[in-house]
Amino acid sequence: MFGNWLKTSLLMAAIMALFGVIGTYIGGASGMVMALLFGGAMNLFAYWFSDSMVLKMYNAQEVDETSAPQFYAMVRELAQRAELPMPRVYLIDEAQPNAFATGRNPEHAAVAATTGILRMLSAREIRGVMAHELAHVQHRDILISTISATMAGAISALANFAMFFGGRDEEGRPANPIASLAVALLAPLAASLIQMAISRSREFEADRGGAEICGDPNALADALIKIDSYARGIPMPTAEAHPATAQMMIMNPLSGGGIANLFSTHPATEQRVARLRELARA
């Protein structure tokens, strides 16, 4: 638990440093102060409201034992096995098979799955996926992923502002337009690198924890193979519009290549499956 709080603190500090750098570029010392104040406000907002913001972004609909009895009962059984409070359960009307967990702690957690994953996977495989998401809750790293998604989006918005409205030096003179373009490109990239540094090891740990919760490592391995195969050919428009949220998913939802996939926050599916197969053999 201490390790995850340390990661969260380092993440916030790194994001705040980015806010300061961009603010200094936009308006010198006064711009840095304004950007740091904005970043501090965003950190507080992200801590309390980023989960509801992400769920709303994906138009996630909360379900219960009446509206989705089998799925809800599955999550409840897994939460009991993991000795966790019952999270809120959501469905997202998207064809791509995917899922994520969010919330600031296990007492305020939510898990969400797409309708596509319920159609494409067997009940055993879905159980493995939801166990993976509950492992994120159990490890208390859902706050890290949700805050990093929110703050990376804010960094991108601030960097775009810098590109379109330009920056000022200490004497108030307009900055070099090439520097404006560099800030607009490099600041979001730096935010993505921060996400990547934290997220990859987190996914391996959630795979391991999920295998322990559901008691069936091969179920999660089989699910990952299917999700990887289907997700490549089925776009998720919300994730494409908000790529900073991609690292929250069990599988990278972004299509095509480019920067987003070059600096993927997810380990290779082959590596994840190999580790799970080894767990099953052990």
Q: Is the pLDDT of residue 3 over 60?
A: no
Contact assessment for residue 127 and residue 99, using Cβ atoms and an 8 Å cutoff: no
Q: Is the pLDDT of residue 131 over 60?
A: yes
pLDDT band for 51, please (50, 70, 90 cuts). confident
Q: Is 133 a catalytic residue?
A: yes
Contacts of 1 (CB under 8 A, 6+ apart): 140
Of 46-50, 82-86, 136-140, which has the strongest mean pLDDT? 82-86
Q: Which pLDDT score is estimated for 261?
A: 47
Task: Write out the H or E segment, with its range, that includes residue 112.
Answer: strand 109-114
pLDDT band for 259, please (50, 70, 90 cuts). very low
Contact assessment for residue 187 and residue 18, using Cβ atoms and an 8 Å cutoff: yes
Q: How is residue 246 annotated by DSSP?
A: G
Q: Is the pLDDT of residue 138 over 90?
A: yes
Which amino acid makes up residue 163?
Answer: M
Q: Is the pLDDT of residue 172 over 60?
A: no
- DSSP alpha helix (H) spans, 58-141: 69-81, 115-120, 123-138
Query: Any idea which of 120-129, 154-163, 268-277 has the lowest mean pLDDT?
Result: 154-163
Average pLDDT, the chain: 82
CA–CA–CA angle 188, 39, 185 (5° rounding): 15
Q: Which domains does the chain have, with CATH numbers?
A: 49-146+183-281 (3.30.2010.10)
CA distance 19 to 190: 11
CA distance 216 to 219: 5
CA distance 84 to 138: 7
Q: Which of 192, 198, 89, 195 is nearest to 133 (CA)?
A: 89
Query: Any idea which of 47-51, 140-144, 163-167, 271-275 has the lowest mean pLDDT?
Result: 163-167
Q: What is the mean pLDDT of residues 122-132?
A: 98
Q: Which pLDDT score is estimated for 2?
A: 54
Q: What is the mean pLDDT of residues 185-190?
A: 65
Model pTM greater than 0.85? no
pLDDT band for 260, please (50, 70, 90 cuts). very low
Choice among 77, 83, 94, 133 that is catalytic: 133
